[in-house]
Structure 1
Amino acid sequence: MELLYFKTFAQVVKSGNYTRAAYALDYAQSSVTTHIQKLEEIYGGIRLLERHGKSMELTPAGELLYSYVEKMLSLYEESHQRLSTQEVKTVRVGSIETLAIYELPNILAEFKKKYPDVMVQIIPDSEEIIIEKIYNKDLDFGLIIDKPFKSERINSLSLKKQAMQVVVPPDHAFTKEDFITIDDFKNETIILTEEGCTYRAYLLKQLERNHIDFTLSMELSSIETIKKAIQNKWGVGFLPAFSIKGHEEVVGMPFQDENFQFYSQLLYRKSSSHGSVYQYLISLFQKA
């Protein structure tokens, strides 16, 4: 109970009077008055504060106590921070490859500034396996690109709507167009990511639904390898727009399809979203 009194005492000193302290603490003013009276009783009835006009000022005894209260409250906050950090020694993040390469590094750099002693494990995998591992508590977080994910046990934080691009060599005929539609894939040779990729599955389904003839020439697990293959004119690719930025060897043409409503999303179990470490990482994704 004394800690509560100390907090109230410190707030009165910072606010200057009982009214502003009560507002800051969301207490009734009578509660603030009672806390100060109880604190004075604990110390033998010594006056800690006295009124000067509309303000409350420290007595000599109050000044001495306040110097200790500041230290005690600081240690109290530090203990909470240290214990919450100590509880989490490792954060496990499952991610599809594109997000692991292009989106995670900046966020993790900020995270490590605040929590340098927390190990971060990045586990690249398909969306299906990432979700399964989150359910089984083998992962703390998952990063996917898909239609909005819904589950009673897993939270889904939509980060941003993702645009797709048809990736071609600089001299490809597609570069003369403003955008590419599903019909433009007719008779094209295509290079895709491996099975299990959600945007690959979407494209193949749309090609089949629209009866588009095409040739699937390669399935590659690495985005960088796909771009190299496109550069060598072995086919055209279908990749998230952010993965093409800064690559002059290939050109990304906007893919237009009103039905493509995919978002990058952060997944995590509803039961494990508490604690300062997890909350801070979630806040970094929200700001990105």
Structure 2
Amino acid sequence: MEIRQLKTFWTLASTCSFSQTAELLSYVPSTITMQIKSLEEELGVKLLDRLGKKVVLTDAGQQFLPYATKILNDVEEAKCISSQHGELAGTVVIGADEVLCAYLLPALFKRFRAEYPGVRLLFRPLSGQELKSSLREGHADVVFVLDEPINSKDLQSEFLKDETFQMVVSPDHMLASRSELVIDDFHKQHFLLTEKNCSYRTYFDQSITKKGVDALTELEFHSVEAIKQCVVAGLGIALLPEMALKKELREGEVVALPWDLSDVSFSAQMLWHREKWISPSMAAFMEVAKSELI
């Protein structure tokens, strides 16, 4: 069993793509296939299934991944201890939901790449529930969430910034010109919502139910961009983070409704596992993140 095989397996498990893994590791795809096959033969189990262009870990692959992650972390730690000089290198695996990836993190990634060109950033877009699991399972080093304040025994959090939410409609929506709204105004309206495991979707469901709306006509989306385009097209009402709406609000493509959202308390936060060894490259990324985003 070779370190390069473990690195290939770990990267493939992170990207779920042979072509992306080959690009990240500067291999041709056939080399990736050969290394995985050799590793499977040595272990005597099948680690992954290739379903079209997508890679899915088998049960054995899922069980083997934490061991591969630990070995690679130990190797990287040993390299850092034995190296006295030279450019900072390594890989940092980052996870975030769609909103933070699109509207908060690009400037951070650009600055970090300029300051630490030798460190590879591997980004994994994940849903709300998957983000915390990715830390606990060792699939990510650092994740960014938009959530209520997080108190966890095994996860460490760093507050970055509070986020304001807006309830928006298109300019020609029947509620757009209203200076005041009551809960009855929302009856028979169409709501365009994020998926149910999204933190602020959960808040919205609980809040609107408490205020007397017992049934909603809703369309559910996995993409905030899709929700915005449907709002612009006049298909309904959406509750979204203001960071995702700045352009549309400024250009008059959507209108914020006069609905009190002062009790919505969500913030952008950076999370990592308390027991994870923080490599120099991970520490550098976290420091740049705090400097850039706080």
Uncovered stretches (5+) of structure 1, i.e. residues with no partner? 1-78
Indicate how the Cα distance of structure 1 residues 133 and 180 shifts in structure 2: closer, same or farther if over 3 A, else same. farther
**Cα distance in 2 for residues equivalent to 1:150 and 1:217:** 31
Matched, 1:131 2:135: no
Among 250, 268, 286, which residue is 1:282 paired with? 286
Indicate how the Cα distance of structure 1 residues 146 and 210 shifts in structure 2: closer, same or farther if over 3 A, else same. same
Matched, 1:233 2:234: yes
Instruction: Say which SS state the counterpart of residue 151 (structure 2) adopts.
Output: coil
Indicate how the Cα distance of structure 1 residues 143 and 178 shifts in structure 2: closer, same or farther if over 3 A, else same. farther
The residue correspondences of 1:206-245 to structure 2 (distance < 5 A) are 206-213=207-214, 215-245=216-246
Indicate how the Cα distance of structure 1 residues 177 and 91 shifts in structure 2: closer, same or farther if over 3 A, else same. farther
2:96 corresponding residue in structure 1: 95
**Cα distance in 2 for residues equivalent to 1:117 and 1:99:** 24
1:161 corresponding residue in structure 2: 162
2:46 corresponding residue in structure 1: none
Uncovered stretches (5+) of structure 2, i.e. residues with no partner? 1-82
Among 256, 270, 283, which residue is 1:266 paired with? 270
Among all aligned residue pairs of Structure 1 and Structure 2, give the percentage whose two residues are the same amino acid. 28
Indicate how the Cα distance of structure 1 residues 127 and 264 shifts in structure 2: closer, same or farther if over 3 A, else same. same
**Cα distance in 1 for residues equivalent to 2:148 and 2:192:** 23
2:256 corresponding residue in structure 1: 252
Residue identity opposite 2:212 in structure 1: H
The residue correspondences of 1:47-62 to structure 2 (distance < 5 A) are none
**Cα distance in 2 for residues equivalent to 1:132 and 1:259:** 28
Residue identity opposite 2:209 in structure 1: E
Q: How many corresponding residue pairs?
A: 207
Residue identity opposite 2:187 in structure 1: K
Residue identity opposite 2:145 in structure 1: I
Residue identity opposite 1:277 in structure 2: S
**Cα distance in 2 for residues equivalent to 1:243 and 1:152:** 31
Matched, 1:82 2:86: yes
Indicate how the Cα distance of structure 1 residues 81 and 268 shifts in structure 2: closer, same or farther if over 3 A, else same. farther
Residue identity opposite 2:270 in structure 1: L
Deviation by residue 1:17-58 (Cα, 9 ceiling, x = unmatched) = xxxxxxxxxxxxxxxxxxxxxxxxxxxxxxxxxxxxxxxxxx
How far the C-alpha of 1:82 sits from its partner, in A, is 3.0
**Cα distance in 2 for residues equivalent to 1:285 and 1:234:** 37
Indicate how the Cα distance of structure 1 residues 181 and 244 shifts in structure 2: closer, same or farther if over 3 A, else same. farther
Indicate how the Cα distance of structure 1 residues 172 and 273 shifts in structure 2: closer, same or farther if over 3 A, else same. farther
How far the C-alpha of 1:96 sits from its partner, in A, is 1.1
Normalized against structure 2, the TM-score is what? 0.64
Residue identity opposite 1:158 in structure 2: F
**Cα distance in 2 for residues equivalent to 1:142 and 1:131:** 8
Indicate how the Cα distance of structure 1 residues 159 and 216 shifts in structure 2: closer, same or farther if over 3 A, else same. farther
| Contact 1:190–1:214, Cα closer than 8 Å, also in 2 | no
Instruction: Say which SS state the counterpart of residue 150 (structure 2) adopts.
Output: coil
Structure (1 or 2) with the larger CA radius of gyration: 1
Deviation by residue 1:150-196 (Cα, 9 ceiling, x = unmatched) = 12221111111111111210123443356767665333210011121
Deviation by residue 1:192-246 (Cα, 9 ceiling, x = unmatched) = 1112111011101112222215533311111111111111111111100110011
Instruction: Say which SS state the counterpart of residue 92 (structure 1) adopts.
Output: strand
2:176 corresponding residue in structure 1: 175
How far the C-alpha of 1:252 sits from its partner, in A, is 3.5
How far the C-alpha of 1:275 sits from its partner, in A, is 3.7
CA RMSD of aligned residues (A): 2.3
